[in-house]
Amino acid sequence: MDLKLREDIPIFQQITETIESGILEGLYQVDDRVPSSNEFAKYYQINPATAAKGINQLVEQEILFKKRGIGMFVGNNARTIILSKRKDRFYTDYIIPLQNEAMKLGITSEELSKLIQKGDVHEN
Amino acid sequence: MKIETKNLSKNFGDKKALNHINLTIEPNKIIGLLGRNGAGKTTLLQLLAGHFKPSEGEILINGENPFNRSHVLEKVCLISEANNFKRKLKIREILKMISRFYPNWSQPTAERLLKIFNLAPSLNAKGLSKGMESALSIIIGLSSRTDITIFDEPYIGMDAYARYRFYAILLEEYEAYPRTIIISTHLIDEVSNLFEDVVLMHDGSILLHESAEEMKNKSLQISGSLEKVTAFSEGKNVIYTTQIMGQKTVFIYGEKAIEEQQAKAMGLSVERCSIQELMVHLTNSQEEGLYV
């Protein structure tokens, strides 16, 4: 989880990603309460409307649900929804920058896939 | 309370401080009022606080002109940089006097903030250091709980610690008691994440009025090889250019997100600009020729 703000993507998006990562990492389980927009505003020192925008997006995507007057909670299918969202973005967020850097360094695509497999071995 | 200006102008002798301004500010937002020295920010804020009449046009707070209307002015608190306490009064007495102007005054807030900023109520206001004087002004602004609370460069002489305390307390107060808060400042980087909207002024006019997020979204900072960046930025609204070692960086404003994908596809590095960078370069672009 990233607890510091970055300059390259909108702040509300960083709030959604922080909550999503918290759910993927198991910090928040189904029906757990996540921090409120005011709590995020206070932590990051940002406008509460910005934090609310991030949280509302997760409500729209049914990752969170709202209990009026109590707070925001993790939805039943949160994990599945986040995973499919993240997989969709994996190519643009990770593969393309990886290929760009490899190209700059003169690493061929065969070498690149070997390197990726090498990573696999380390994992196992 | 809604703030509206219609064709608002203010002249001081020959100088046009405000030039036909049309601006609408919706209630209960934190607004950053930005611009270079002499842009007209303070004049606008003083008109809002009813310090003088417009030369032309009007300024309305919930449909009413604030000048000489105490039932409007008791809902507006302007804390300005020149807010000096010259009279020989103790802090306690000053707060008591001021609290009578503002029906929503929160004495518990005032007392809590005095402790946080280390100001003893028995201190004489005349002998305060610059930083302490600013802290006292800020305490007044936050405790007033006016529907429109304005901070015009409020923290001259305050150290970084005290300023960060101010931002944190401002946020707490805003959450506890939502109201319109206008902050005019030159220390933009420190505080820009608190803004919901930004109003950028230049030469007595409104250059832009936009949500802080939209403003950042419309900005791109593109870097890469001289040729590629030049090709990419052709025909776009470039507000700043710099180059070194065959590499070029341009700041572009007003483009759609699709440009970002294009730039990335060309292998260019893409970032967004900070509000402070945008303020600097947007208010400079008119005179770009002078600086190249």
Cα(B187)–Cα(B190) distance, integer angstroms? 6
Query: Does residue A23 form part of some domain?
Result: yes
Q: Are residues A48 and A20 in the same domain?
A: yes
What crossing angle do the helices spanning A48-60 and B160-176 adopt, rounded to 10°? 50
pLDDT of residue B217: 85
Query: Does residue A1 form part of some domain?
Result: no
Query: Does residue A5 form part of some domain?
Result: no
Cα(B147)–Cα(B72) distance, integer angstroms? 10
Helix, strand and coil in chain B, % to nearest 5: 40, 30, 30
Query: Does residue A19 form part of some domain?
Result: yes
What domain count does chain A have? 2
- C-beta separation of B226 from B250 below 8 A: no
Q: What is the CATH classification number for the domain harbouring A29?
A: 1.10.10.10
Query: B3-214 has which CATH code?
Result: 3.40.50.300
- What is the residue-wise DSSP string for A15-72? HHHHHHHHHHTTSS-TTPEEPPHHHHHHHHT--HHHHHHHHHHHHHTTSEEEETTTEE
Q: Are residues A74 and A103 in the same domain?
A: no
Query: Which residues of chain A lie closer than 8 angstroms to B196, CB-CB?
Result: 47, 49-50
Cα(B278)–Cα(B192) distance, integer angstroms? 12
Query: Does residue A21 form part of some domain?
Result: yes
Per the listing, tokens 């909550």 go with A19
Q: Are residues A15 and A65 in the same domain?
A: yes
User: Which of B165, B208, B210, B214 minimizes the C-alpha distance to B190?
Assistant: B165
Query: Does residue A30 form part of some domain?
Result: yes
Residue A123 predicted with pLDDT over 90? no
pLDDT of residue A2: 59
Residue B83: which pLDDT band, with cuts at 50, 70 and 90? low
Q: Are residues A69 and A19 in the same domain?
A: yes
Residue B112 amino acid letter:
R
Query: Which residues of chain B lie closer than 8 angstroms to A39, CB-CB?
Result: none
Residue B61 amino acid letter:
I
CATH 3.30.530 fits B218-291, yes or no: no
Cα(A24)–Cα(A6) distance, integer angstroms? 21
User: Which tokens is A94 given?
Assistant: 């990770």
Q: Inter-chain contact B272–A7, Cβ cutoff 8 Å? A: yes
Interface predicted TM-score (ipTM) of this complex, two decimals: 0.75
Mean pLDDT for chain B overall: 89
Residue ranges of E strands in chain B: 3-12, 15-25, 30-35, 56-61, 76-80, 148-152, 180-184, 197-202, 205-211, 219-225, 238-244, 247-253, 269-271
Q: Are residues A94 and A59 in the same domain?
A: no
Query: Does residue A4 form part of some domain?
Result: no
Q: Are residues A64 and A17 in the same domain?
A: yes
Residue of B nearest to A36 (CA): B175
- What is the residue-wise DSSP string for B171-201? HHHHHHS--EEEEE-S-HHHHGGG-SEEEEE
CATH 3.30.70 residue ranges in chain B? 218-291
Q: Are residues A98 and A119 in the same domain?
A: yes
Instruction: Give the one of B171, B213, B271 whose C-beta lies nearest to A12's C-beta.
Output: B213
Residues in CB range of B21: below 8 A, 6 or more apart: B5, B7, B8, B9, B40, B44, B57, B204, B205, B206
Q: Are residues A64 and A33 in the same domain?
A: yes
Residue A21's domain comprises 11-78
CATH 3.40.50.300 residue ranges in chain B? 3-214
Task: For chain B, say whether A100 makes contact (Cβ under 8 Å).
Answer: yes
The predicted-structure confidence for B241-262, as pLDDT tens digits, reads as follows 988 888 899 998 886 667 777 8
Half-sphere exposure of B95 (CA within 13 A, CB side): 29
Residue B292 predicted with pLDDT over 90? no
User: What is the average per-residue pLDDT within B218-239?
Assistant: 88
